[in-house]
Copies of this chain bind each other. A is one copy, B any other.
């Protein structure tokens, strides 16, 4: 691929459409360009030079592992989304990392300080970015509430609905999702154990709401619309 093309990857994100070509070049995404395959770890949050990443193709998860090896997944990042040190804060450490879920990903990235400089010059950009962070903040608040108020089954259903909305292809009476998540992955997202996730998925399948296999997930349309 010609490197000229790589420069314009960021245009896929509405945040960067307000920028001129020269401004976009300031971010110097070429050096931050990379491809990855399933299982690769993209970054650790305590890296010396904080960056922001743009996912051009594929899907990744943002996770944290505690001292006992327990993992939770805080967010699934899809094609066209940003991740990394979005909070612009580099003082408080957190043990987050990003791992590739799909067979391959394409990523470009830029340094936090370059981005901040650009925002100083471009108030539009700063405001849009603030809203982007604000939205992610709000979504996490929502996950937090769900975790406290709802049981594992409800959280699973909620997740499946969200996944369908983000990633599903509608057919006549179903929504089909190309499945790049194991039941273990799903368990981490809804904050439960693998065994519980398995049981609940089978329970939902028995009830006729979905069909799960390693390749794809088919959700009953009625089921997704209700609840």
> Using a CB–CB distance below 8 Å, which chain A residues touch chain B?
64, 66, 68, 70, 72, 74, 86-89, 92, 94, 96, 116, 119-124, 126-127, 129-131, 133-145, 147-149, 191
Contacts and interface: CB of A to CB of B under 8 A. Distances in A.
Given A94-B145, A121-B123, A130-B133, A138 B64 contact: no
30 contacts: A64-B145, A66-B145, A70-B149, A72-B145, A72-B148, A74-B141, A86-B137, A87-B134, A87-B135, A87-B137, A88-B134, A89-B131, A89-B134, A92-B138, A96-B141, A116-B127, A119-B123, A119-B126, A119-B127, A120-B123, A120-B124, A121-B123, A123-B123, A123-B126, A130-B133, A133-B133, A136-B137, A140-B141, A140-B144, A144-B144
A147 B136 CA distance: 19
Given A92-B139, A119-B127, 4 more contacts: A66-B145, A86-B137, A120-B127, A130-B133
A206 to B, nearest CB: 27
Main secondary structure of the interface of A (DSSP, over half): helix
B137 A130 contact: no
Contacts of A123: 119-123, 126
A108 to B, nearest CB: 21
